[in-house]
Structure 1
């Protein structure tokens, strides 16, 4: 397994995923929610002219930058060089997390990791399947590749069609614990909603929610208020 360098990795908790065309739209969605979330994901691929430094200065929460390409279910259509350049800027501007796809070229991953050396930011290495949930053997192989990638945190998210899909994905959390590799793991779709709540109780690093009253960035996302309420119930809070 690759040795990861950087800060100690503590749980991210509840992350709100925000997609808006400009900074004003991002802040408008965030304003009523900051007290309910632990991390803010800004989808740079949804923005027309993102300024990562201004976003960092304006958002008083740990910040995750994602610039998702079309080939991984996102909106970014430019060159890989330009896409990665924005993530490099984010790393240098004090990002708490940057998300990079496992399918990205290894040299891109190594370069982004180099930008994080000596900083507090951490890389999330992500893999998504928007059509189905692969067999256990495939999922375990993806986890192994992520754990060996040098990234600090893994993310595996699939589309659930039935309860068995959810069980296979959540079972990855035990494998990740054996590797001492923090993992984000849950399912999309209506059948996967339960996993967005259960993942934290089972040791998942982070779960994602949509801003209240806004369209989510993935199928089956619950709103921040819904998900926070469920988590509080599980934790025995009023």
Structure 2
């Protein structure tokens, strides 16, 4: 059975530790997310050049659950630089200013990169109509991939976010959709086999970058059951 990509999320303090951190799981993942907002010196050109896995660069602001405290213009400039460094993907939030999104989309198109337009709800899972509207906004924005992450408190909410995949599949649009929180943990695996573009995993349970995130080893251990 075909599955979506596994993306390991790295929240290291400096570039020197990135390669060492990812080495033990490199063969278990399809791409690597580097969280610039977690770094003291967010310069990763050498890391991107040295790895044979595609790199997704994220610079998540505090207002969307990240650690970036600087200006929006500086945050966007780092994402543009990341595309020059060779990042295959960059992530920018749906709630970011339209001019910033437009700048990043234009740069990605110029260098052959792809843009993930993302949305995160750390409180709950919105109604299906809200989720569908969010997906529609992302598709209309020029995104190459949509990422919609919510917080599930029960099975019904978990099913709600997974069902959004049907809308994306009908439009042949790549979507990464799953839920945070303990009730949503199963969605991180399920989305891989329900048409999801990718799911995110941590280096270890202690290094999770979001609530309910599985480690690469935990996620990978379950794949053989579904890959027959």
Under a length normalisation based on structure 1, what TM-score does the superposition of the two structures give?
0.92
Output aligned runs, 1:84-163, within 5 Å. Answer: 84-163=76-155
* Aligned counterparts of 2:206 and 2:12: Cα–Cα separation in 1: 10
Give the C-alpha shift of residue 12 in structure 1.
Answer: 5.7
* Aligned counterparts of 1:30 and 1:52: Cα–Cα separation in 2: 14
- Contact preservation (8 Å) 1:17, 1:210: yes
- Contact preservation (8 Å) 2:15, 2:44: no
* Aligned counterparts of 1:77 and 1:23: Cα–Cα separation in 2: 19
Deviations 1:185-216 (A, max 9, x none): 00001100110000011000000100035420
Q: Secondary structure at 2:63's aligned position in 1? A: helix
Q: Secondary structure at 2:12's aligned position in 1? A: coil
In structure 1, list runs of 5 or more residues that go unmatched: 1-10
- Contact preservation (8 Å) 2:4, 2:192: no
Q: Secondary structure at 1:41's aligned position in 2? A: strand
* Aligned counterparts of 1:12 and 1:174: Cα–Cα separation in 2: 15
| 4+ long deviations beyond 4 Å | none
- Contact preservation (8 Å) 1:100, 1:125: yes
| Equivalent pairs, count | 226
Q: Secondary structure at 2:199's aligned position in 1? A: strand
Aligned-residue RMSD, C-alpha: 1.2
User: Which protein has the bigger helix share?
Assistant: 2
* Aligned counterparts of 1:213 and 1:223: Cα–Cα separation in 2: 5
Q: Which moved more, 1:43-52 or 1:209-218?
A: 209-218
Output aligned runs, 1:156-235, within 5 Å. Answer: 156-212=148-204, 214-235=206-227
- Contact preservation (8 Å) 1:184, 1:205: yes
Deviations 1:40-66 (A, max 9, x none): 000000001121312212322110000
